[in-house]
Structure 1
Amino acid sequence: MYRRLVVKLSGQAIAGLNEFGFSSDRLTHLATEVIALRATGVQVAVVIGGGNVFRGNRAEDWGIDRVEADNIGMLGTVINAVLLRGRLTALGAENVRLMTAVPIDNLAEPYIRLRALRHLEKGAIVLLACGNGQPFTTTDYPSVQRAIELQADALLVAKNGTDGVYDADPNRHPDARRFDHLSYQEVIDRGLGVMDQSAFILARDHRLPLHVFDIDRPHAATTIAGGTPLGTLID
């Protein structure tokens, strides 16, 4: 049984079947999963992506500077976080805190590590937006960074429609094999695209366990929190 978990949600998880935008049904599903996870007694923080609003790596397509593009992407994570906070509250969740790496005082608290720890210890659901406030990173790196900073027992890497790590793209190769368990070194040696390499190396160096699972599966996060193997465990 884990004591504290960080969940990484992509913007795509909120968009659902669409590449961009928002899905009310998906938002409800995600909020329900987060509420159920906290109900198990686990302290829960959620790092939220913004790829459904804007992707910084499309800067060239839009003819804008990459730093500016990443700033837009960070603001996209705030939109998603406010949406998730609203749905959590509408579903009856109490004590939901939104913290941002870039100060936006009218909407959220600034991310301060010790304050976030205090919120978690009091049983709050802590939503973390704006990545780590810096350009040139996806949500992968801040999710690992926050999990380490907040002394989480593991990082739950939520995927959309993919129930773990495979030896090939399962959408293109029907015979692709899913791994139940991998070591950090095996992921590197096999060249498996679990997350950005810098984020993965950070997780490896700090021995942070990664659970890669399908967020579309009902009760997946609570199953993992309860100690039942699901998806792929990397440690």
Structure 2
Amino acid sequence: MYRRLVLKLSGQAIAGPNDFGFDSDRLTHLATEVIALRATGVQVAVVVGGGNVFRGNRAADWGIDRVEADNIGMLGTVINAVLLRGRLVALGADDVRLMTAIPIDSLAEPYIRLRALRHLEKGSIVLLACGNGQPFTTTDYPAVQRAVELGADALLVAKNGTDGVYDADPNKNPAAIRFDHLTYAEVIARHLEVMDQSAFILARDHQLPLHVFDIDRPSAASTIATGAQLGTLIN
């Protein structure tokens, strides 16, 4: 069904049950899911978050400037991406490329769109870190931005413990109803929280389909890649 997909992983996915930090079992699970996704035959890029290391919106708590806080958050995405690359290689992934929006030559390649496309066309798993290199955005926006830039057929929005988009918080309301399919207009009209509004509007404007699903479910991403309905599709 799909030729090229971008998977958005949050830092929380790497932290597992903890608010911050890293969880080895979770890292192995995520790496296994990425490998399984590529095994379906699709080209795979992964945008990695950094909220498990530092969140830019905590600038005031630490008494630092928001720009500096976001810079720290971007470096957090690099830590997570290097961890993920290491685990992917350890599990047998034969060609993993890490590209960063801020040049860190000793660790990764600089993100260059045409180079990223070439890696994808050769079958490499491409990990994308540092967001888009700019402050005042979460990794939602660069996830959509990279998906559009790279001509992805869809963006897989991985959630932790939530298997799609609901009409209410399912953790607080047992009667909450999950949507199998939504249009962009319905998400906006219902004030549903899928991702940052600026990121969602960018996806809408470029008609980028969004698959919102639970990354905790084994083989979820690869199931979506083969065309099966899972989670919530927004288009």
TM range (shorter): over 0.9
Hey, what's the Cα distance between the residues in 1 that align with 2:168 and 2:10?
A: 21
In the alignment, structure 2 segments of 5+ residues that lack a partner are none
Partner of 2:125: 125
Report deviation, 1:71.
0.1
Is 1:45 the counterpart of 2:33? The answer is: no
Hey, what's the Cα distance between the residues in 1 that align with 2:44 and 2:27?
A: 17
* TM-score for the superposition, normalised by structure 1: 1.00
Report deviation, 1:96.
0.1
1:56-67 counterparts in 2 under 5 A? 56-67=56-67
Q: Which amino acid aligns with 1:87?
A: R
Hey, what's the Cα distance between the residues in 2 that align with 1:198 and 1:36?
A: 31
In the alignment, structure 1 segments of 5+ residues that lack a partner are none
Deviations 1:165-207 (A, max 9, x none): 0000000001000000000000000000000000000000000
Partner of 2:229: 229
Partner of 1:29: 29
User: Secondary structure in 2 aligned to 1:128?
Assistant: strand
Partner of 2:177: 177
Moved over 2 A (4+): none
User: Secondary structure in 2 aligned to 1:31?
Assistant: helix
How many residues of Structure 1 are paired with residues of Structure 2 in the alignment? 235
Partner of 2:110: 110
Deviations 1:15-61 (A, max 9, x none): 00000000000000000000011011000000000000000000000
Partner of 2:70: 70
Report deviation, 1:107.
0.1
Identity of aligned residues (%): 87
1:168-207 counterparts in 2 under 5 A? 168-207=168-207
Hey, what's the Cα distance between the residues in 2 that align with 1:96 and 1:165?
A: 31
* TM-score for the superposition, normalised by structure 2: 1.00
